Amino acid sequence: MIVVERSGLRTTVQDRGRVGLAHLGVPRSGAADRFSAGLANLVVGNPVDAAVLETTLTGPTLRFETSVVVAVTGAIADVLLDGEPVDYGVAAWISPGQRLSVGTAREGLRCYLALAGGVDVAPVLGSRSTDTLSGIGPASLTAGQVLPIGALPIASSGSVAAPIGAGEELEELLSSVLPRARRKVRVIRGPDASDATMNSLCSQRFSVSPNSDRVGVRLTGPAVPGGGEAPTAGMVAGAIQLPPDGAPVVLLADHAVTGGYRVAAVVIDADLPVVAQSRPGVGVEFQEVTAPAVRKAWLARG
């Protein structure tokens, strides 16, 4: 088990989310940056859908009551084990009685802490994810809380799956989701977009508003034409809604299943982690791409 001594700003349990329930009004939720969460699981030998801890800006301090292998990916932050630094993206062995602290992110917004065996809270509707919009799933971590750890993952050979280290290639993958200067987020044209809307969206620089969360990333900057209300329709993560004021909102993991604003574009899945890791004040630029480019980006991400 793990004892939460300090919870951090907002630390939640996340996995791959509740898939296939949108028609019942249940959002998917899950890790905002599924790519980093999946890599953290792979580093400790878990399946990619094991439950991890997702931090927001500032992480927790945890005291371990059992031996376990852990790894931290996502945002760049100081990770300390009994006061000693732990390498980013590397499997670390923790003994009973030791404390692990995840500090404030220096680059990016969300860290992912994976433990061999996963965080074993009770699943709700097939997922252990915290949904901050609907309230489904476990509440955010609080000081004094005790978290159970699941059984060690078993490899196909029947033995305990072995954790992997982080070589240069893995380190490059881990940092690929972090916002970089002049990196453009790729989008495909949405159902309500006009040429004027796309020209405006893809020719200007926006900034992430402090009024952003797991539901959506609100952007500030020049107003994009074509915004307004629209007939209620199903929404997906990455959809860029345009309210009447023309300030784009990129939907994230905890978005509602439907929405009533026009959808100008949709961030491609390979680039959605970049948006999820964009902290307030970070600049965001968009680039329109076509379906073949989306497939190429997906295959490149692996």
Residue-wise pLDDT for 2-61, tens only, equals 999 999 999 999 999 999 999 999 999 999 999 999 999 999 999 999 999 999 999 999
- So what's the pLDDT on residue 235? 96
Domain 184-301 grouped into CATH 2.40.100.10: yes
Please state the domain extents for the chain.
2-175, 184-301
Q: What is the pLDDT of residues 245-278, one digit of tens each?
A: 999 999 999 999 999 999 999 999 999 999 999 9
Q: What is the pLDDT of residues 121-175, one digit of tens each?
A: 999 999 999 999 999 999 999 999 999 999 876 654 455 555 655 556 666 777 7
- For 90-131, the DSSP string reads --EEE-TT-EEEEEEEEEEEEEEEEETT-B-PPPBTTB----
Task: Please list, in sequence order, all residues whose beta carbon lies within 8 angstroms of the beta carbon of residue 178, skipping any fewer than 6 positions away.
Answer: 75, 76, 107, 108, 274, 277
List residues bridging with 68 in a β-sheet: 94
Burial class (CB in 10 A: 0-12, 13-18, 19+), 98: middle
Q: What is the pLDDT of residues 53-69, one digit of tens each?
A: 999 999 999 999 999 99
